[in-house]
Structure 1
Amino acid sequence: MKRRPPVLATLVVLLAVAAMIGLGIWQLQRKTWKEAMLARFAAADAIPAPLVIAGADLPQDAGFRHIRWSCPQTSADQVVGGTNAAGQSGWAHVVLCIHRSGDAATLLPVVLGWSMSVAPVQWTGGVLTGIAVPGIKSGVVLPEASALSRNLDWHIVADPPLAGLAANARPDLHDIPNNHFAYAIQWFCFAATALVIYLLALRKR
């Protein structure tokens, strides 16, 4: 007599397989979104004229744009690992630009430039041109956000460099990971493996 598959176990496996397939489809959707974002960044990077920005906030379409922006006040220099325009390893010098409105402050990291020395440099602010990059510069320490302190999820790489420093490496679109297709394949493989293992287990009952 042929035994029926256990209902509860079968339901659990099918739900797990469906969830893994759903995650794979979601990763494919993320791949499409990431490719569109990278295409926008590439188009923005090709625009030579700087985008003039007034105030603290950067618009959403500023990613990889050359911008002209005012930094009225700065923090002390932070020194983090970096490379110069020739690919040589050394130190990137970063300050936090501070825009104040009453008691509230908005902070945004600016990479002033690069050097072989960890000795801090002085730059007290002013109008700068550079490339706006989404995300905080790796290694930079920001104060904890609060009702009176807001950290923008951007950083600017000064171009030309400031404070007598050498040019930092230009932001590279290839540094932005786009591995969603590989993740999707992994989830589909997990789903197929789970289904095959369960079918083999049923055959041995």
Structure 2
Amino acid sequence: MQENSAEAPEKSNFPIIATIIVIAAVMTMIGMGIWQLQRLDEKKALIALYDANAQKSAIAYPPLGPVQNENMFRRSSANCLSVIGWQTGSGKDAGGKAGVRHIAECSTGAEGPGVIILLGIDERPRDNPNWKGGVVSGFITTEPDKSNILQKAFGGKKILRPMLVSDSPQAGLRAPARPQSGDVPNDHLLYAIQWFFFAFAASVIYILALRKKLKG
């Protein structure tokens, strides 16, 4: 009987599945970077719209959120019939000086949605202003977002109510800083660079590990 002298083919040491997973991950990171660059262009267009809005004529105060882009930073006015609550926090006055902001939560009628008004800035924390309400003119923006990092990441998009930033001193306070497009976060370029760096780093690390494995 003749012996079979053919040797079994040597098993490949190349990690096919791991390579596919890494390639998919790198492509996903690159895709996220490209998406952030697209968002960058969209954000630039949005900021240009906000700048144009600030120069337009006054409009009726929007009763409910979210504030539409075409209404952001527009001039408006609201009538606070009575103050039902206050919010305080850090803020800046029209001259850029830091202080404590006082935001009045107002009733506008028996069944109305109410209105939020940033009245002004105080030098230091103290009792709420003795302000009973009235007609206030200013600029439309959104209320402060008090969500923490986890809520922003996993809690879904929160609908922020409109807020009127007074354009003149109220209740003995300093006039608040006017809302500006420069206050709008625009970190998309930084995020894009981060995603591209992650993709590059993952590729280099895997290639080095793969070379070591194949040589071993």
* TM-score normalized by the length of structure 2: 0.76
| Alignment of 1:86 onto 2:91 | no
- Cα 1:20/1:100, change in 2 over 3 Å: farther
Describe the shift of the 1:167–1:86 C-alpha distance in structure 2 as closer, same or farther (beyond 3 A): same
Where 2:137 maps in the other structure, the secondary structure is strand
Unaligned regions of 5+ residues in structure 2, if any? 1-9, 147-158
How many residues align? The count is 190
The answer for the alignment partner of 2:59 in structure 1 is 51
Q: Which residue of 2 aligns with 1:195?
A: 203
Distance 1:78 1:197, change over 3 A: closer
Q: Please list the CA deviations of residues 116-139 of structure 1 after superposition, one character each: whole Å capped at 9, or x if unmatched.
A: 2523113333322111113x2266
Corresponding residue to 2:113 among 106, 109, 114? 106
Give TM-score scaled by structure 1 length: 0.79
What are the within-5 Å matches in structure 2 for residues 48-197 of structure 1? 49-53=57-61, 56-57=63-64, 60=68, 61-99=70-108, 102=111, 106-117=113-124, 118-134=126-142, 136-137=143-144, 152-197=160-205
Is residue 78–residue 115 contact of structure 2 (8 Å, CA) maintained in 1?
no
Asked if the contact 2:73/2:180 (under 8 Å) is kept, the reply is no
Aligned to 1:6: 15
Give the aligned residue type for 1:91: V
Residues 170-204 of structure 1: per-residue CA shift (max 9 Å, x gap): 22322222110111011011112211222222222
Matched-pair contact (CA < 8 Å) for 2:145–2:160 = no
How far apart in 1 are the matches of 2:26 and 2:145? 37
Q: Gaps spanning 5+ residues in structure 1: where?
A: 140-150
**SS in structure 2 at match of 1:10:** helix
- Identity fraction in percent: 38
Cα RMSD of the aligned pairs, angstroms, is 2.6
Q: Is the 8 A contact 1:109 1:137 kept in 2?
A: no
* Gap change, CA 1:109 and 1:68, over 3 Å in 2: closer
Moved beyond 6 Å, runs of 4+: none
Q: Which residue of 2 aligns with 1:20?
A: 29
